[in-house]
Amino acid sequence: MADGLVAAITDILARRSASAAQLLAEAVRRHCAVEHVALVSFQGSDCSVLAADGLDLLAVGTTAPSALSTRLVRALEGKPWSSADLAREPAFDRPVDQLAAALGLRSGASVPISSAGEAIGAVLLSSTVVGRSWTAAIAQVDAVAGLIALGLGIGRQPGEPLRVVVVHVDPLAAHGLARLVERGLPAEVVVAAGPWDPELAARVADADVTIVDAAVLGSAELPADQVSASTGRLVLIADDSANHAAGEPVGASPHRAGIVVPRRTVLTELIPAVARAVGRPGPSWPPPGGLALTSRERELLLELCTGSTYKQIAGRLGLSTATVRGYSRSLYAKLDVHSRGEAVHKAAQAGLTHR
């Protein structure tokens, strides 16, 4: 769903342009089909507008308290927020909220950009359309949040590249994967000297993303947890015969939130997979894949990610609308979220937005 935006953003980052922030805002607005996008960073309780595109809502360079905007307040909490009708939101009355209404914006969303479990920025999306579903747009932005942070220079030192580790039993293949990542992303890639590398644990602990060949996880020299225990950002390259679908989480442990890339499509899918993994929280955020979701709950979660109405979902699942709403409330409670947007956010973070 988000691969088009992933490709656009990785292309922008590869250019290393001085106008990258503005290009990122333009790409998000185009792919999410909205009238306004603002990319902001947080410094404590204040925010700075780093880039904007579309209607003149927030000027680039503006620094102000986040409390002036409902969406910024929610983004600081580290959770996505959306409204299909801003005029009906009872507490949507802060100064920036009022300005949005005056400009004719009728619905909107905010997606936090997080690092180490803390919100360091946000993407604000606005539309003039009432009743718009924000599920798909939130999932798209969430998939590239880590790359947007990289392009904006927030969450790390200016010019600091992504730190990627490749672990493979074949040194030639490992170096090939490393070059592929370096060509597609502003990344510094370290190739581990096989699963027996004595510095492997330290390399993984320091990495933003770890790329692992499935054969490594089956190696007697390397218990699987050695690769994944210190990071929730794992990309696994596996044969099509492996018991994982592309984008599925790896394993059942709360620390095993990896994205699977089929070996035959690694040339086209590795960069998008790394992009999705970059923005993932660390192991302190257990993903839905680590919870005991029933097959029906998993099916419902996937349906919620499509942006369909409850009535449409009910028709596809052969249930009543009331039953779907009831199942949704139970699912939200299990995921410890309070809305569809938050549920979709967790699903995207865990790689559960693919069937």
* Euclidean distance between the first and the last CA atom of the chain, given in angstroms as a whole number: 11
Q: In the chain, pLDDT over 90 holds for what percent of residues?
A: 28
Distance between CA 99 and CA 23 in Å, rounded?
25
Domain 288-349: give its CATH code: 1.10.10.10
Q: Residues of CATH 3.40.50.2300 domain(s) within the chain? A: 162-278
Tell me what pLDDT residue 332 has: 80
Structure tokens given for 311: 């009535």
* Residue ranges of the chain that CATH labels 3.30.450.40: 3-152
CA dist 39 and 186 (Å) reads 20
User: What's the confidence (pLDDT) of residue 244?
Assistant: 43
Q: Given a cut of 50, is residue 82 above it in pLDDT?
A: yes
What tokens appear for 286 in the block? Answer: 């257990």
**DSSP output for 333-347:** HHHT-SSHHHHHHHH
Residue 290 pLDDT level (bands cut at 50, 70, 90): very low
**Measuring CA to CA, which residue among 286, 275, 285 is closest to residue 251?**
286
Q: Which residues sit opposite 124 in a β-bridge? A: 38, 110
Number of H helices, E strands in the chain: 14, 11
- pLDDT tens-digit map of 14-41: 777 778 899 999 999 999 999 999 999 9
Q: What is the rounded distance in angstroms from the CA atom of residue 119 to the CA atom of residue 56?
A: 25
Burial class (CB in 10 A: 0-12, 13-18, 19+), 89: middle
pLDDT at 159: 67
Q: Residue 316: which residues within 8 A CB-CB, separation 6 or more?
A: 303, 308
Report the pLDDT value the prediction gives residue 316, as an integer from 0 to 100: 82
Residues whose CB is less than 8 angstroms from the CB of residue 216 and which lie 6 or more positions away in sequence, other chains included: 167, 168, 169, 195, 222, 227
Strand positions, DSSP E, the chain: 36-43, 46-54, 63-65, 81-83, 107-115, 118-127, 162-167, 187-191, 209-213, 234-238, 259-262
Q: Which of 69-73, 166-170, 344-348 has the lowest mean pLDDT?
A: 344-348
Burial class of residue 147 (count of CB atoms within 10 Å of its CB; 0-12, 13-18, 19+): buried
Q: Over the stretch 159-191, which tens digit does the pLDDT of each residue have? A: 678 889 998 888 899 999 999 998 878 889 999
What's the distance, CA 182 to chain centroid?
21
| Per-chain mean pLDDT for the chain | 79
Q: Which residues pair with 212 in a beta bridge?
A: 167, 236
Q: Strands across the sheet with 259-262, in order?
A: 187-191, 162-167, 209-213, 234-238, 259-262
Buried b (16+ CB within 10 A) or exposed e, 42-53: beeeebbbbbbb
**Pairwise pLDDT comparison (226 vs 335), residue with the higher score:** 335
Report the percentage of the chain scoring pLDDT > 70: 80
User: Can you tell me the mean pLDDT for 123-130?
Assistant: 95
**pLDDT tens, position by position, 198-257:** 787 778 877 888 898 887 765 544 444 454 443 447 888 988 644 444 444 443 333 344
pLDDT at 286: 34
* CB half-sphere exposure, 87, CA atoms < 13 A: 11
For residue 318, is pLDDT > 60?
yes
User: 3-152 belongs to which CATH class?
Assistant: alpha beta
What are the b/e assignments for 276-310, b being 16+ CB within 10 Å? bbbbbbebebbbbbbbebeeebbbbbebbbbbeeb
User: Please, which pLDDT band fits residue 110 given cuts at 50, 70 and 90?
Assistant: very high
Sequence-distant (6+) residues with CB within 8 A of 202 are: none
SS3 content of the chain, % helix, strand, coil (to 5): 45, 20, 35
Q: In this predicted structure, what is the pLDDT of residue 317?
A: 81
User: With bands split at pLDDT 50, 70 and 90, how would you rate the model's confidence at 86?
Assistant: very high
pLDDT band at 320, cuts 50/70/90?
A: confident
CB 192 within 8 A of CB 212: no
Q: Going by CATH, does the domain composed of 162-278 fall within 2.40.10.10?
A: no
Residue 183, phi then psi, degrees to nearest 5: -75, -30
Name the residue among 43, 44, 47 with its Cα closest to residue 61. Answer: 47
Mean pLDDT within 278-297:
51
Please identify which residue in the block is written with the tokens 């809305």: 339
Location of each CATH 1.10.10.10 domain in the chain: 288-349
Q: Cβ atoms within 10 A of the Cβ of 11, count?
A: 12
